[in-house]
Structure 1
Amino acid sequence: MTRRRTSSSRASRHLPAPSRSQGGGRLRIIGGEFRRRLLPVLDSPGLRPTPDRVRETLFNWLALDTPGACVLDLFAGTGALGLEALSRGAASATFVERDPRIAEALGANLEALGATLRGRVQVADALAFLTAPPADSPFTLAFLDPPFRQGLAEPCCLALEQGWLTDEAYVYLETESELTVAVPTSWQLHR
């Protein structure tokens, strides 16, 4: 198994498609330091938290690579993936969310977890964020969950190649099942 700019995608049908959170608007952290914590989730059109089962499977795959990771959670929404990474020992997480109301709720959840020193929320469009030069050290783990059917997956994957990732970074990409994404040729499918 090689790890250079590895990607995973729901399009590969290894994981079930996400569904809207049923009843309650709560996000449960699956494992790690914040295990079993329930966090409020705003009811907002298009906001689809990554389901528990998907996160559990994903972080089982990433178990050895999450501790100490520098995480980028693009199209953060609820921040489910980045928060789970922080809970499992990631050194830092940058959450990029364009909706100020959703970003504010995510910031409140970071405060509730006592994770504001390791997590920061950027209110920005994900693609615009990636067109600026990287300000921090490169990310070792990136989560991309763009809104479906808006053509954002490919341009974001290409933009990540502009200094945003370490050479052996993992990239997890959630897409609609019918979409085939052309990722950079240096990336290798891991799962």
Structure 2
Amino acid sequence: MTTSKGSVRIIGGQHRGRRLQFTDQGGDLRPSGDRLRETLFNWLQFEIRGRRVLDLFAGSGVLGAEALSRGAASAVLVEKKRERASDLTRQLQPLFGATLRVECADALTWLARGAPPAPFDLAFIDPPYDLGLVPPACDALERGGWLSREALIYVETRRHDPAPAVPVNWHLEKEKLGGDVRACLYRRQPDAPNAPS
């Protein structure tokens, strides 16, 4: 198993320029690059403040951290690997305090436990590419009551793979292809025909 160390930088908001360190065991961690994150958060610039955020496959934690730095009300980061989850807590809790919660859990298992008291307004879905996790994660979010009425959902997949399968009531608002990445931003349309009840 390969192990490498790296860092990512928060690029906007209160903690702009702050570096987050990470250890990648197994080579499955690929933090979103600065340019892609700049595009994503330009898309979201009027949608962040005061929102409840879910970073479902947190990895380096940079998407959730970026959202909190830019004024999100709270963020839950779900990370399966214990050492990585501990790193997220150690680095991000001092910055964000009670607005941040790190859950050490398998994302799909965690979603199966039942929806939170209040749904999320923004969800990030950026799992390892080759595990087929996007469709079941999207389906679990939609059917489990995890998302607010017009929530935004960011999905990142490999560029040359087929477009991700998402619930029928998720409307594609933005898409960017760059390098090996397909980045898609969806908005829930709860009144769309055939939307899950």
TM bucket normalised to smaller: 0.7 to 0.9
Matched, 1:172 2:158: no
Partner of 2:166: 183
The secondary structure found in structure 1 opposite 2:89 is helix
Q: Which AA in structure 2 matches 1:183?
A: V
Q: Supply the distance in 1 between the matched residues of 2:114 and 2:137 (Cα, whole angstroms).
A: 14
2: distance between equivalents of 1:93 and 1:185? Answer: 26
2: distance between equivalents of 1:190 and 1:164?
Answer: 20
Return the alpha-carbon distance in structure 2 between the equivalents of residues 185 and 111 of structure 1. 36
* C-alpha displacement of 1:24: 6.5
Which whole-Å CA distance do the structure 1 matches of 2:24 and 2:135 have between them? Answer: 28
Using the TM superposition, give the Cα deviation of residue 25 of structure 1 relative to its aligned residue in structure 2, in angstroms. 1.1
Q: Which amino acid aligns with 1:37?
A: R
Q: 1:1-191 counterparts in 2 under 5 A?
A: 25-44=6-25, 45-113=27-95, 115-161=96-142, 162-177=144-159, 178-191=161-174
Indicate conservation of the 8 Å contact 2:20/2:60, yes or no.
no
- Structure 1 outlier segments of 4+, above 6 Å: none
Q: TM (normalized to structure 1)?
A: 0.85
Could you tell me how far apart the structure 1 residues matched to 2:22 and 2:165 are? Answer: 32
In structure 2, C-alpha distance between the alignment counterparts of 1:155 and 1:102, rounded to whole Å: 23
Q: What CA distance in whole angstroms lies between the structure 2 residues aligned with 1:78 and 1:142?
A: 16
Aligned residues: 168
For each residue in 1:35-83, what CA deviation from the matched residue of structure 2 results, as whole angstroms up to 9, or x when unmatched?
Answer: 0111212133211111011111100110011010100001100111000
CA–CA separation in structure 2 for the residues paired with 1:24 and 1:158: 33
Gaps of 5+ in 2: 175-197
Greater strand proportion: 2
Superposed displacement of residue 99, structure 1? 0.2
Q: State which drifts further: 166-175 or 104-113.
A: 104-113
Check whether the contact 2:5–2:24 (CA below 8 A) recurs between aligned residues.
Answer: no
1: distance between equivalents of 2:97 and 2:162? 35
Give the number of the structure with larger relative contact order, counting CA–CA contacts within 8 Å between residues 6 or more apart: 1
For 1:150 and 1:179, the matched residues in 2 are separated by 14
Partner of 2:186: none
Q: Which amino acid aligns with 1:100?
A: R
| CA distance in structure 2 between the aligned counterparts of 1:189 and 1:52, rounded to whole angstroms | 22
**Paired letter, 1:47:** L
